[in-house]
Amino acid sequence: MENGVRRWLVNVSQWNPSEAQFASVISLFPVDEQTAITRYIKFEDKKRALVSRLLQYSLVHEVLGIPFDKIIIHRTAEGKPYLKNSIDFPFSNFNFNVSHHGDYVGIASEPLCFVGLDIVSITTPKQETELEFINNFSPYLTALEWKNIAHAGSSEDMLVEFYRYWCLKEAFVKAIGAGLGYGLHRLEFHHTNWTGISVYIDGAESKKWRFSLSKLDEKHWVSIARGLPNKADELCCSNLLLPELRFSFRTAEELISNVS
């Protein structure tokens, strides 16, 4: 029975369409989506944006059964995509989130809890040292987080540690749809070896959020944030406690054949 939960990833480095193929895939989407994709200057950004739409439309179609040409996805003022079509119970709080960075584009959906997803691609800074790079982000981390980063080991270990914290913070902010203006320093992540992750917001532990962080490969990590809406009923609360679903890998070609 359909439960509305999905975790999909596409490795875009494995998709190398010709210009003609790329153009024909873009044309499958509504005009405003086409404009949004082609506006990017770098081809890699265009590719990630297109795969993001392929994931969004495929997911909505598969979970909710809405025909492709009837799917309407809009964006909030902060840029978060959401389904405009009205949905019936039991999926009235159905929501999804997408992320892309480096080689991966991902999507996560939930029927009841809010979900946020973030993928980070760890790259060694080119114009500065790891420490200098991390220093740029000092206003957005708490004292405890800094301490943990400082004690992580080598410069490379510190960089990875920083990215893990960043990834979690982004997933949370994206789950609540707050956009980049949210004060990231207000969030403090506690964990035991990056499991049992919880968040303290303005110093107080929140019982309404669950997180997971996993490694995709040597350079990529993915985080999921799930949280309860304000008027959460028992069903929603028990939903939050369910173990995190593992990601499954899809290919661009597969998604394209779904949509065409």
Partner 1 sequence: MASVAGTAFSVSARPPPRSLQVFNGLSVVKSVSFANQRKSIPSLRSHPATSRFRVSCAAKPETLEKVCKIVKKQLALPESATVAGHSKFADLGADSLDTVEVVMGLEEAFGITVEEDSAQSIVTVQDAADLIEDLVCAKSS
Interface positions with partner 1 (CB under 8 A)? 39-42, 44-45, 79, 82-84, 93-95, 101, 114, 126-127, 131, 133-143, 146-147, 149-151, 158, 166, 170, 176-186, 201-202, 208, 227-230
Closest distance of CB 249 from partner 1, Å: 22
Judged by beta carbon, residue 142 or residue 251, the one nearer partner 1 is: 142
| Closer CB to partner 1, 10 or 37, in the complex | 37
Token pair recorded at residue 67: 């025909």
Q: At what angle do helices 31-38 and 19-26 cross, to 10 degrees?
A: 140
Which residue carries 């959020």 as its tokens? 209
Pairing outcome for strands 195-201 and 187-192: antiparallel
CA 158, CA 161: separation in Å to the nearest integer? 5
Please state the closest distance from residue 45 (CB atom) to partner 1, in A.
Answer: 4
CA gap 144, 122 in Å, rounded: 22
Q: What are phi and psi of 80, to 5 degrees?
A: -85, 125
Task: Give min distance, CB of 225 to partner 1, in A.
Answer: 11
Collapse the DSSP code of 22 into the 3-class scheme (helix H, G, I; strand E, B; otherwise coil) and give the result.
helix
Q: Which is nearer to partner 1, 185 or 258 (CB)?
A: 185
| Closer CB to partner 1, 179 or 196, in the complex | 179
Least separation in angstroms between residue 40's CB and partner 1 is 6
